[in-house]
Structures are given as structure tokens and as C-alpha cells.
């Protein structure tokens, strides 16, 4: 039996001298050497007792060795459990215990703090640092590269990715070989990736975007990556002339636009800029085009599904939308109560179906049945609408919907108006408990650098353009909106912050 994911992404590159990783210090790693490094880690994983189907939790700094360890998981059939490097030992204990991970690999600097957690969960603890240091790196360095590949098929589990857990406990999304490979194939074709592409990679590799989109697309196309440890504006601008493509979160693009060195000339050789993981403001889209001549390609994906939709490579990239369904993927908007499909233009629950959709939640059959329909459609939890041409606009999360006095309020509608006001960089609208209406909207505004916001003018604009029940009765100016590592606004944190907005004043 073959191992489709390994064979297509890694095995076919064995012995190749084509450049794969361009590193910050000027060093390069070719495909053949990378596959050999992965083989050494594969030998190490087998030596420490991991078998196909075992889970390996990884919380390590981004590095070529970390990527080789991930490849080794595919080679050995080990189920990858990539974990956010910002998680604390207390947070990690849930993921390790819930997944039943046989082993944990962490940064050497975290070993002392994680040792008690690993012991409590019955997992072996190994380390891997950003400089090829650590106990697992040392073990792998002593071994010959393994060429043995564990037989797997498309239905076999390749990874478990835990959702962000903004409400309740995080859920482990089970992703199969077919989920990952089919999505990489669709994106390579849709975004026109070839072996001549060089991706500027400044994303983390514990998340779908940097790992299963950026990395898998590059591996499948046979291109190269400028592999930066993180987004650093100086490093990105220095590397940009060597790249043809870039994937990022909206923050990457706003930071580039804030830097005078980022000019039309600096971006003229680029083929493609992609944005995702959080909504891109239409203003950012328009400013970027005005500055560079490039229209950012925005797409829509989730932990459970990888990528679902994308604005077209050839064709109109519509600001404020996430494009059409990718080839092989179906998208519909339904009534949240009945599940019936809604007409184009109406707001409802976004549902998706395709080979990219996950197998279910790890050890949560009831939650799986609740969100994954028998016909294969996944209820995303996102509210959206499809226009006449099939372009999808996400208007918010279902849990972000505000019901005030029996009226539905979609925060995105208010945010779009607020974002257009003079001096406003961005906004977020959340619900706060209200003794009369059940809940009522509250707005947080972030000013443009060096500018102030006239709140009376903002209120006047809302009074002119929004029904009274939609108008936030409280508006706060913040230095910045709370975000997670992928740039998503943490509305749960804002809801908690503004929870008493009306309880004592009404």
C-alpha cells in the first residue's frame, strides 16, 4: 500500500538538488537534503516507540527541522498534533490528555515546565529547538535516514488540529490524508502554482494557513519558500525581491502599507498576494491596489475544512468577499433553524461539502453529529450570503449574532459603516447584556495612526444610516483590538470586557 500524502509531497523529491528552503541567514536547503532530514526524524520516531496512528504533540519554534519532523510524521503514519507556541503548560495539558498523545516535542526552554504535564498524561517528552538543538534532534542526528514509508490510504488520519476554543473546550478536528492532499491539489491548480514559484513564508506552521496551505502547496508544486521565523517587516521587505508569491493575514498587509519602503516597484515582480485567516478590510484591499497595482486574493477556510472558497486568479477579485467555491467544494447558505437553502442575497448559515471536509471531532461523537450533517455538509458556524455570481461574503460568526428586543443584528453591517468613518482604522461590534432588550450592541474603535475620532460625528453617521435598534449605545476607543496569533479579533474577550455596559446604567 502506498502513502499518498508522503508520496506526493515528500517522497518524489528524494535526491533532488532543487532549492526548497531559503533561510534568513542566507543558507539554503535543497529538497533532497530536506527529505533525508525527515528520514532521520522518521527513524527517531520509530526508535522512541511511535507506531502508525499514534499521536505526537508538537510545540516547537518554526525551523527547517520542525518542518522535517512534520514530514517524518507523514512518513511514519504518526498523527500530527501541531500546537500554538503561545499555549501555556496548563493549556497544553488538555490537548495532550485529550488526544492521548504518546509523546510530546517541545522547545528545550519549555522542557522543565512541561515535564510534569507530560508525566501526568503518560507521554514521553522530547525537545527540538530552533537551532537544531534538543534531545530529539540529537537522537535523529545519530541515525541514518529511513526510507521506510508506513502504508496509509486516503481515509487514514494525518493530523488533529484543535480549534481555538473561544467558547468551551477546544475540539480536535480530525483531518485525513485525502482532506489535506485534495485541498493542496485544488489550490495549486486554482492559484497557478508551479515549480518556478518562491513563496515568502512568514506564517507559523502550527496553523492550517502556514502548514497545510503555504507549505503543502509549495511541496506539491515543487517550488521554494523563503522561510522566515515570523513576520518581521525588515526581513519581509529584504526578502520580497526574491519571492513571486506571498501568503499572509490582514495584519501583514496593513503593516506593509504603513512602511514607505513598500512601493509599487518593490512589489512589481510579484505574481500573487493571498490573504486569509481573518477578514480583510475593503479599505486595505483598495489601498493595497492603489499602492502596488496588485489586488490581494482573499480566500476562506477553517480548521475543519482547509480552504473552501477563493477569489479567482483570473477574473474579478471582489473586495469584501471571499470568492467562489473551490473546484470540488460545494457551498450553500441555509436557514440556521431549518437547514433549508436560502435564496441568493439572503444571510444565513454557511455550509460546505467536499473532499476537504474533516472526518469529525476527536472523541466528540455528539458534537460531530451536531455540526456534520449525514449528507456530508459541515455547518461552519459562519453567517454569510451568496451573491448572484456565487461570491460569498462572510458577515460574522453565528455566535456573534446579536438579538436585541427580538431583532437580529449582524455586527458586520455596523462594522462596515464604522470602518468608513474619518479617523477610524478598524472596528469591532459585540453584544452586551441589556436588562430590557436581552442584549444590545457595543462598538470598539481603533483610530488611524496619528488621528483622532470624532464620536459625535460617528453617532450622527449611525443615526443617518442605521435603524435605531442597530446603533451601539456604547462606543469605546481602544489602542488595538485583541487578536489571536493568526490575526482574528477575539470577540469573546471584548464581550467579557463590555459585559456590564448596560446592567448598571439602564
Question: What residues does each domain of the chain span?
Answer: 4-153, 190-397, 401-497
pLDDT tens, residue by residue, 164-186? 644 457 899 999 999 999 999 99
Place of cell 502550527: 206
Kindly state the cell numbers that stand for 142.
545519530
- Answer whether 350's CB lies under 8 Å from 323's CB: no
Nearest by Cα to 420 from 284, 300, 322:
284
Q: Helices 282-292 & 411-419, crossing angle to 10 degrees? A: 40
pLDDT tens, residue by residue, 183-192? 999 999 999 9
Rg (CA), the chain: 23
- Mean per-residue pLDDT for 410-424? 89
- Answer whether 233's CB lies under 8 Å from 254's CB: no
C-alpha distance from residue 87 to each of 10, 126, 237, 290, 349 (Å): 29, 17, 29, 38, 31
pLDDT attached to residue 398: 76
pLDDT tens, residue by residue, 308-343? 999 999 999 999 899 999 999 999 999 988 999 999
Kindly state the cell numbers that stand for 494.
471584548
For the four alpha carbons of 424, 427, 433 and 437, in that order, the dihedral sign comes to positive
Report the range of poorest mean pLDDT among 30-34, 242-246, 409-413, 451-455. Answer: 409-413
From the number of C-beta atoms within 10 Å of its C-beta (0-12, 13-18, 19+), residue 428 rates as buried
Residue 200 backbone dihedrals phi, psi, to 5 degrees: -80, 110
pLDDT attached to residue 478: 95
476 CB-near residues (< 8 Å, 6+ apart)? 442, 443, 444, 445, 498
Kindly state the cell numbers that stand for 298.
482573499
pLDDT attached to residue 164: 61
What percentage of the chain reaches a pLDDT higher than 90?
78
CA 470, chain centre distance (Å): 30
pLDDT attached to residue 283: 82
pLDDT tens, residue by residue, 345-372? 999 999 999 999 999 999 999 999 999 9
pLDDT attached to residue 506: 37
The beta strand positions in 55-139, using DSSP E, are: 55-59, 79-82, 103-106, 124-127
pLDDT attached to residue 505: 44
pLDDT attached to residue 168: 55
Torsion (CA) 260, 264, 270, 275 in degrees, nearest 10: 60
C-alpha distance from residue 133 to each of 106, 127, 251 (Å): 11, 8, 31
Confidence of residue 259 (pLDDT cuts 50, 70, 90): very high
If one counts every other C-beta atom within 10 angstroms of the C-beta of residue 135, the result is: 17
pLDDT at 436 over 80: no
CATH architecture of residue range(s) 4-153: 3-Layer(aba) Sandwich (3.40)
C-alpha distance from residue 198 to each of 227, 392, 473, 500 (Å): 10, 29, 49, 50
More confidently predicted of 503 and 462:
462
More confidently predicted of 280 and 138:
138
112 CB-near residues (< 8 Å, 6+ apart)? none
Kindly state the cell numbers that stand for 271.
505574481
- Answer whether 409's CB lies under 8 Å from 401's CB: yes
The per-residue pLDDT of the chain, averaged, comes to 92
More confidently predicted of 218 and 499:
218
CATH superfamily of 401-497: ANL, C-terminal domain (3.30.300.30)
The answer as to CATH 3.30.70.360 being correct for domain 190-397 is no
**What's 125's DSSP letter?**
E
- Mean per-residue pLDDT for 372-394? 94
Identical fold, 4-153 and 190-397: yes
Nearest by Cα to 404 from 443, 432, 383, 427:
432
pLDDT attached to residue 166: 42
- Answer whether 42's CB lies under 8 Å from 3's CB: no
Amino acid at each position: 500500500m502506498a502513502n499518498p500524502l508522503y508520496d506526493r509531497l515528500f517522497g518524489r523529491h528524494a535526491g533532488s538538488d532543487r532549492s526548497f528552503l531559503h533561510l534568513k541567514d542566507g543558507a539554503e536547503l535543497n529538497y533532497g537534503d530536506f527529505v533525508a532530514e525527515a528520514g532521520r526524524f522518521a527513524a527517531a520516531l520509530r526508535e522512541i516507540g511511535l507506531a502508525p496512528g499514534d499521536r505526537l504533540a508538537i510545540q516547537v519554534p518554526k525551523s527547517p527541522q520542525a518542518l522535517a519532523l512534520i514530514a517524518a510524521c507523514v512518513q511514519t503514519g504518526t498523527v500530527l498534533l501541531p500546537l500554538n507556541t503561545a499555549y501555556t503548560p496548563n493549556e497544553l495539558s488538555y490537548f495532550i490528555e485529550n488526544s492521548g498523545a504518546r509523546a510530546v516535542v517541545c522547545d528545550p526552554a519549555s522542557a522543565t515546565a512541561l515535564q510534569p504535564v507530560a508525566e501526568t498524561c503518560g507521554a514521553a517528552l522530547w525537545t527540538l529547538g530552533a537551532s537544531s538543538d534538543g534531545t530529539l534532534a540529537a537522537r535523529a542526528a545519530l541515525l541514518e535516514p529511513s526510507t521506510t514509508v508506513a502504508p496509509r490510504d486516503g481515509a487514514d488520519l494525518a493530523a488533529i488540529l484543535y480549534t481555538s476554543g473561544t467558547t468551551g473546550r477546544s475540539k480536535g478536528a480530525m483531518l485525513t490524508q485525502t482532506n489535506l492532499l485534495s485541498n493542496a491539489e485544488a489550490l495549486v491548480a486554482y492559484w497557478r502554482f508551479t515549480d518556478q514559484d518562491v513563496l515568502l513564508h512568514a506564517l507559523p506552521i502550527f496553523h492550517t494557513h502556514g502548514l497545510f496551505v503555504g507549505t503543502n502547496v509549495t511541496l506539491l508544486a515543487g517550488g521554494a519558500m523563503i522561510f522566515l521565523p515570523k513576520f518581521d517587516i525588515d526581513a519581509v521587505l529584504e526578502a520580497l525581491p526574491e519571492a513571486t508569491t506571498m501568503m499572509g493575514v490582514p495584519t501583514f498587509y496593513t503593516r506593509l502599507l504603513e512602511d514607505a519602503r513598500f512601493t509599487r516597484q518593490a512589489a512589481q515582480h510579484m505574481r500573487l498576494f493571498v490573504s486569509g485567516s481573518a477578514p480583510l478590510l475593503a479599505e486595505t484591499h483598495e489601498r493595497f491596489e492603489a499602492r502596488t497595482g496588485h489586488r490581494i486574493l482573499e480566500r476562506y477556510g477553517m480548521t475543519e475544512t482547509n480552504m473552501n472558497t477563493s477569489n479567482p486568479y483570473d477574473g474579478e477579485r471582489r473586495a469584501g468577499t471571499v470568492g467562489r467555491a473551490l473546484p470540488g467544494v460545494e457551498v450553500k447558505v441555509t436557514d440556521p433553524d431549518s437547514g433549508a437553502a436560502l435564496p441568493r442575497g439572503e444571510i444565513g448559515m454557511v455550509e460546505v461539502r467536499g473532499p476537504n471536509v474533516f472526518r469529525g471531532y476527536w472523541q466528540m461523537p455528539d458534537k460531530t453529529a451536531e455540526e456534520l450533517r449525514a449528507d456530508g455538509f459541515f455547518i461552519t458556524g459562519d453567517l454569510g450570503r451568496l451573491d448572484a455570481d456565487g461570491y460569498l461574503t462572510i458577515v460574522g460568526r453565528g455566535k456573534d449574532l446579536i438579538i436585541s428586543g427580538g431583532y437580529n443584528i449582524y455586527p458586520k453591517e455596523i462594522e462596515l459603516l464604522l470602518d468608513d468613518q474619518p479617523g477610524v482604522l478598524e472596528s469591532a461590534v459585540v453584544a452586551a447584556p441589556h436588562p430590557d432588550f436581552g442584549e444590545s450592541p457595543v462598538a470598539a474603535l481603533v483610530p488611524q495612526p496619528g488621528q483622532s475620532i470624532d464620536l459625535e460625528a460617528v453617532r450622527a453617521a449611525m443615526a443617518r444610516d442605521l435603524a435605531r435598534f442597530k446603533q451601539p449605545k456604547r462606543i469605546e476607543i481602544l489602542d488595538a483590538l485583541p487578536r489571536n496569533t493568526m490575526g482574528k479579533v477575539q470577540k469573546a474577550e471584548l464581550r467579557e470586557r463590555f459585559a456590564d455596559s448596560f446592567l448598571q446604567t439602564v
